């Protein structure tokens, strides 16, 4: 059968690659065309567009690149028409994917959505489009099933979180070799995950690293984003207890004693690696005031949202200070507190459905087509 997959970001590329592997197992004659990245390309199929050509974030940036975005939509529609897939599989990336889904439905293509847009956080009005234009929805967060089915009367399949697969499939590392290769000493590690965008990193690193001198027995290791050069981080490395590794976040989390993490998927990844963490977020005053009015969630970290309780401490805006980070970091480095937290992490992984999200989704897609 013929599958057309659209992933528009790095995370979509990761989860799309694992879904493709599972589709090839379920359907040995699978013919796949896709929008994605290097990981999906390594699996096979035909790459139409790389996500690096699609990643426009922010209102101004989107306006500036509107011609390119509209051109990509036109290319996508034509490519689907020429390919005539048995199903189109959308992976998150709602701004682009929901437009294509509307057109696809009007043109009698099957539309399956893997990894729901986070409409439970904002733009809940998109539910009307989803109900009209999406034939099957596969959700990865347990509360999303209740959100769609109970609140909006739209049936979905909860398949578990693909991050569990991605993390379980990680090869083991030799800690001694990793430390040597990255000029890390023998001190225990506090991982610093400040995000991936320059503005975000600049704001977060300053406050995260402000506690270094209070913990002389630890080394603070910045997890460099693949999208940023080392030269950008250099000015922040002002102390012998501040180290840096680039594009090796998972390997770093495997050996970290604790972590300071900016909100986002990284909060969930850190928990699944069983690393005690503090979630830190500080935006501009204007951005924070706008976000506070648009997003009406109890928590900002996925860990707490999934567990529906404050498992990990969230230090947001005015709470994100040197003093508060120092206090909370001392707490999560305490062995008794850590034991309780790690037990909660086990509950979290169980709640997320365990391993096999990609395989479950592939079986459901192929089963539906057959």
Spell out the SS3 assignment of 279-300: EEECCCHHHHHHHHHHCCCCCC
User: Closest Cα partner for 260 from 195, 216, 311?
Assistant: 195
Instruction: Quote the Cα angle for 55-57-58, to 5°.
Output: 165
Q: What average pLDDT values come out for the chain (370 residues) when binned by 10 residues?
A: 93 92 96 95 94 58 58 92 98 92 97 93 90 97 94 96 88 95 96 86 92 97 88 91 94 97 90 96 60 63 93 92 97 94 94 91 95
DSSP line for 118-162: -TTTS-GGGHHHHHHH-SEEEE-SHHHHHIIIIIH----EE---H
Residue 157 CA to residue 355 CA, distance in Å, equals 16
User: Three-state SS for 254?
Assistant: helix
Pair 159, 362: CB distance under 8 Å: no
Position 56 scores a pLDDT of 47
Position 10 scores a pLDDT of 81
Helix or strand holding residue 103 (H, E): helix 94-106
User: Closest Cα partner for 139 from 161, 120, 122, 154?
Assistant: 161
Q: Which residue is associated with the tokens 């437009």?
A: 99
Residue 9 CA to residue 363 CA, distance in Å, equals 24
CB neighbours of residue 213 within 10 Å: 11
Pair 10, 33: CB distance under 8 Å: no
Cβ contacts of residue 264 below 8 Å, gap of 6+? 195, 302
Q: Which 8-state DSSP code applies to residue 108? A: T
Half-sphere exposure of 207 (CA within 13 A, CB side): 25
User: Closest Cα partner for 264 from 303, 291, 228, 225?
Assistant: 303
Residue 271 CA to residue 87 CA, distance in Å, equals 34
Q: Which 8-state DSSP code applies to residue 107? A: T
CB neighbours of residue 176 within 10 Å: 10
Q: Which residue is associated with the tokens 């200070």?
A: 321
Position 359 scores a pLDDT of 96
Residue 357 CA to residue 164 CA, distance in Å, equals 8
CB neighbours of residue 157 within 10 Å: 16
Residue 148 CA to residue 137 CA, distance in Å, equals 10
Beta bridge mates, 316: 281
Q: Rounded to whole angstroms, what are the CA distances from 114 to 18, 139, 347, 363, 364?
A: 12, 7, 24, 13, 11
What's phi and psi for 87, nearest 5 deg? -155, 145
Q: Is 367 exposed, middle or buried (0-12, 13-18, 19+ CB in 10 A)?
A: exposed
Helix or strand holding residue 268 (H, E): helix 265-272
Q: Which residues of 296-324 are buried (b: 16+ CB within 10 A; e: fewer)?
A: eeebbbbbbbbbeeebbbbbbbeebbeeb
User: Closest Cα partner for 190 from 332, 349, 32, 29?
Assistant: 332
Position 298 scores a pLDDT of 79
The structure tokens listed for 138 are 């596969």
């Amino acid at each position: 059968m013929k599958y057309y997959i659209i992933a528009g970001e790095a995370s979509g590329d990761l989860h799309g690659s694992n879904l493709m592997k599972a589709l090839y197992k379920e359907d040995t004659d699978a013919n796949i065309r896709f929008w994605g990245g290097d990981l999906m390309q390594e699996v096979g199929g035909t790459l139409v567009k790389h996500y690096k050509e699609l990643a426009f974030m922010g209102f101004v940036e989107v306006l500036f690149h509107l011609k390119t975005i509209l051109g990509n939509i036109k290319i996508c529609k034509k490519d689907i028409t020429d390919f005539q897939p048995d199903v189109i599989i959308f992976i998150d990336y709602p701004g682009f994917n929901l437009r294509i889904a509307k057109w696809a439905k009007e043109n009698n293509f099957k539309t399956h959505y893997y990894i729901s847009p986070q409409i439970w956080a904002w733009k809940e009005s998109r539910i009307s489009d989803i109900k009209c234009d999406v034939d099957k929805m596969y959700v990865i967060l347990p509360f999303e099933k209740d959100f769609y089915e109970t609140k909006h009367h739209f049936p979905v399949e909860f398949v578990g979180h693909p991050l569990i697969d991605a993390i379980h499939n990680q090869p083991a590392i030799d800690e001694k070799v990793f430390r040597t290769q990255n000029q890390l000493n023998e001190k225990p590690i506090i991982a610093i995950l400040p995000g991936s965008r320059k503005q975000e990193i600049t704001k977060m690193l300053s406050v995260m690293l402000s506690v270094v001198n209070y913990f002389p027995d630890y080394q603070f290791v910045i997890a460099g984003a693949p999208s940023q050069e080392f030269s950008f981080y250099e000015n922040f490395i002002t102390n012998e207890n501040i180290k840096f590794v680039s594009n090796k976040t998972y390997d770093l989390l495997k050996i970290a004693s604790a972590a300071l993490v900016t909100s986002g998927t990284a909060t969930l990844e850190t928990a699944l690696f069983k690393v005690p963490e503090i979630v830190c977020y500080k935006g501009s005053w204007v951005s924070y005031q706008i976000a506070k009015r648009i997003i009406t969630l109890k928590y900002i970290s996925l860990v707490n949202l999934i567990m529906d309780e404050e498992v990990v401490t969230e230090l947001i805006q005015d709470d994100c200070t040197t003093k508060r980070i120092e206090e909370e970091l001392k707490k999560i480095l305490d062995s008794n507190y850590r034991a309780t937290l790690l037990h909660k992490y086990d509950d979290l992984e169980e709640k997320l459905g365990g391993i096999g999200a990609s395989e479950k989704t592939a079986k459901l897609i192929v089963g539906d087509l057959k």
